[in-house]
Amino acid sequence: MQPFFLRALDILFSFIGIILSLPIMLVICFIGIFDTGSPLFFQHRVGKRQKLFTLVKFRTMATNTDSVGTHLVNSASITKLGNFLRKTKLDELPQLFNVLTGQMSLVGPRPCLPNQIELVDEREKRGVFKVRPGVTGLAQVNEIDMSTPRKLARYDQLMINNMSLKLYAKLIITTALGKGRGDRVRTEITK
């Protein structure tokens, strides 16, 4: 699929998504104030051509949680509201603004943290950074997260090499229907 056409779809769908979900986002922000005091979460992520950008999401974890891959975070860090937002994927809604501004695409490799060196190296080897990162992608709907960097980078490459309008639509629809769980968190071990 041509990059210009993909970008046009991203702009159209993210704009429509923002308009339609704005009342929901306002409610989540209001509730989030009582949950953590800080409903939005901003974090530097690695984007196209390895340029850093600020990803925005609804906060799902306590404000003092370390800035590491989600699979390295203890599940006890997730708030009650955060648990709901993660299950419903509503925590991802603010990323529509990242898509609208051109930092992300609706479909692409999930943006990683700069400190996820193994994943950054694997993605660099496979040419993954030649495209914008996405809100969802092939790895996510197949429940492959950042805890398996090599496998994740392979799926990212596969998606990029086979991107078409059909795959783009399929990944958005599959995600909207609830397929994929996002990055796992460590379960707290009790003795």
- What Å distances lie between residue 80 and 31, 76, 93, 110, 119, CA to CA? 11, 10, 18, 24, 30
- What Å distances lie between residue 33 and 61, 92, 177, 187, CA to CA? 13, 17, 28, 26
For residue 84, the model assigns a pLDDT of 93
**Series of mean pLDDT values for 10-residue runs along the chain (191 residues):** 89 97 97 93 96 96 70 73 91 97 97 96 97 96 92 97 96 85 47 35
For residue 71, the model assigns a pLDDT of 58
For residue 186, the model assigns a pLDDT of 44
Structure tokens at 72: 């390295």
Q: Is 46 exposed, middle or buried (0-12, 13-18, 19+ CB in 10 A)?
A: buried
